[in-house]
Amino acid sequence: MKKQFLLLFALLLLGGRSIALQAAKHYDVAAFLYPAYAYNDPRLRPFWPSGMGEWETVMTMQQRNPGHYWKRQPLWGPVNEADPAVMEMEIEQATRHGVNVFIFDWYWYDGRPFMETTLTDGFLKAQNRGKMKFYLMWANHDVENYWDTRISHLHESNVIWKGSVDREEFEKICRRNIEMFFSQPEYYKIDGKPVFMIYDVPNFIKGMGGVKEAREALKWFHREVKKAGYPGLDLQFTMWKPNLNYSGFDGGKTENPENDFITQLGFTSSSHYQFCHFTNVNEDYNTIMEQVRKEWAHIDEAFTIPYYPHISIGWDNSPRTKESAVTRNNTPDNFAKALRDARDYADRHPNQVPLITINSWNEWTETSYLQPDNVNGYGYLEAVKKVFVDGE
């Protein structure tokens, strides 16, 4: 009996030690931040004329669609994220709960930046910005009707701004970002290399004029980053469903066309932005996670560059469109289980940085956000804390 007791006690100690080690291990938990919740950017007014950015879409949902099931409200209120005092509060809450990197959705339309004030006026002027890192995801997609609820219901594809740029404009963008953002001490780097993510690679190729031209442009970008004094560039690819039908790249002549396509362009790592990019999100969350794990297994088999596991909180675009695919059963508990899957994936890949990406910090109108609301309170933030701070 005494031996059995000692054995049980030892096992409990080992289990406790395992949990403690898990909690002690550092993970870079990066949440995408959508910078449309700002009050002082005049370029937002054509889409949201009230002057509060896309909070207008959130706060007027019931007014526009009386009785609709979507009745979300932010516990912090419709705050101005371009206000450094607000951003200081958000940095404090994020880091307290284990989110230590913001990936800013970064836009460039009509020859100039768009929705940049949340970063430049909010984050970079926050007193406690040193508590976390940030990097840029160039959201280079076209802008159509969906941001403006007055016309988003139209069954038309009206392009307001094009996200593709030519080589000259691309060089302007890169030089500006190297000087203005990469140089910031909080800019997230892997092995000293600034991380820069490109959202819509097909649109990038289109702007450059083809695969060959895109490859040359990205090679130039790598050289410019080195010229600025960095050991290189970590160019991050946004994974979607594979599409290799590009002039200038013959996928039929390679054994591994997906990987060769990405690496020949110059990408050195990858992650996802949203589950909706590769699987049906009009499902139960646990069913979606089965597909996610299969996708990770496929990526491990097909690609040679590091993949950083991604977890989305959910999907429901009805604030913009009234009707939408809706992820079901995406409770904070199920989200925590998904985060543990991502943590396990990171642990199984010890030769790469333990980076996990999350959609998102504040995608309210896509119903995929960590910020507290009237439905789940701080549940999603607490889930991150349980997994990456407490090690549960």
Q: CB burial class (10 A; 0-12, 13-18, 19+) of residue 335?
A: buried
The pLDDT of residue 158: 78
Confirm whether 258 is domain-assigned: yes
Cα angle vertex 218, ends 212, 220, to 5°? Answer: 105
Name the pLDDT band for 14 (thresholds 50, 70, 90): very low
User: Which range has the worst mean pLDDT, 59-73, 93-107, 153-167, 307-321?
Assistant: 153-167
| 252 domain residue, yes or no | yes
Q: Which pLDDT tens digit goes with each residue over 247-265? A: 555 545 556 788 999 999 9
44 vs 147: CA distance, rounded Å:
10
> What's the CATH code of the domain at 49?
3.20.20.80
DSSP type of residue 368: B
pLDDT in the model for residue 156: 61
C-alpha 328/C-alpha 337 separation (Å) is 15
pLDDT higher than 60, residue 2: no
Token readout for 391 is 């090690």
For the ranges 34-38, 156-160, 176-180, 381-385, the lowest mean pLDDT is seen at 156-160
Rounded average pLDDT over 264-287: 97
Tokens 């950083």 belong to 308
pLDDT value for 160? 84
Residue 65 pLDDT class (50, 70, 90 cuts):
very high
Answer yes or no: are the C-beta atoms of 103 and 139 closer than 8 Å: no
Residues 181-198 have pLDDT tens digits of 999 999 999 999 999 999
Tell me, what's the pLDDT at 155? 61
Output the pTM of the full model.
Answer: 0.92
Q: How confident is the model at residue 285 (pLDDT cuts 50, 70, 90)?
A: very high
Is 328:291 a contact under the CB 8 Å cutoff? no
Please indicate, yes or no, if residue 21 is contained in any of the structural domains: no
Element (H, E) at 236: strand 234-238
Instruction: Judge residue 192's burial from the number of C-beta atoms within 10 Å of its C-beta, 0-12 exposed, 13-18 middle, 19 or more buried.
Output: exposed
Q: Phi, psi (5° rounding) for residue 214? A: -65, -40
Query: Does the pLDDT value for residue 29 go beyond 60?
Result: yes
- How sure is the predictor about 51, in pLDDT bands with cuts at 50, 70 and 90? very high
Looking at the DSSP assignment, which residues form a beta bridge with residue 101? 30, 133
d(CA 346, CA 340): 10
Query: Do 303 and 270 meet the contact criterion of CB atoms below 8 Å apart?
Result: yes
Average pLDDT, the chain: 91
What's the maximum distance between 2 C-alpha atoms anywhere in the chain? 78
Question: DSSP readout, 312-328?
Answer: E---B-HHHHSS--B-B
pLDDT band at residue 332 using 50, 70 and 90 as cut-offs: very high
Least confident of 140-149, 258-267, 319-328: 140-149
With 90 as the cut, is the pLDDT of residue 150 above it?
A: no
Q: Which residues contact 49 (CB under 8 A, 6 or more apart)?
A: 56
How much is the average pLDDT of 36-43?
A: 93
Residue with tokens 């110059």: 266
**Is-contact 80 71, C-beta < 8 A?**
no
Average pLDDT, integer, range 270-296? 97
Q: Which two tokens stand for residue 144?
A: 């159509």
Helix (H/G/I), strand (E/B), else coil: 196: strand
% residues pLDDT > 70 (the chain): 89
Cβ neighbours, 10 Å, residue 106: 24
Query: Distance between CA atoms of 187 and 49, rounded to whole angstroms?
Result: 33
Query: Average pLDDT, stretch 203-217?
Result: 96
Looking at residue 244, its pLDDT comes to 58
State how far the Cα of 149 lies from the Cα of 28, in Å rounded to an integer: 35
Domains identified in the chain, total number: 1
CB neighbours of residue 221 within 10 Å: 22
Q: Tokens 């490109």, residue? A: 198
Calculate the alpha carbon distances from 253 to 51, 216, 274, 318 in Å: 53, 21, 31, 43
65 within domain boundaries = yes
Please indicate, yes or no, if residue 373 is contained in any of the structural domains: yes
Q: Which of 124, 80, 79 is nearest to 104 (CA)?
A: 124
Phi first, then psi, for residue 377 (nearest 5°) are 60, -130
**What does the pLDDT average to over 104-108?**
98
Q: Is 174 inside any structural domain?
A: yes
Element (H, E) at 227: helix 211-227
Q: Packing angle between helix 167-177 and helix 211-227, nearest 10 degrees?
A: 30
Calpha distance 38→243 (Å, rounded) = 35
- Report the C-alpha gap between 29 and 297 in whole angstroms: 21
Give me the pLDDT at residue 84, please. 98
**Do the beta carbons of residue 228 and residue 264 sit within 8 Å?**
no
Q: Is 153 inside any structural domain?
A: yes
Residue 8 lies in a domain: no
DSSP state of 353: -
83 compared with 155, residue with greater pLDDT? 83
Q: Which domain holds residue 252?
A: 26-388
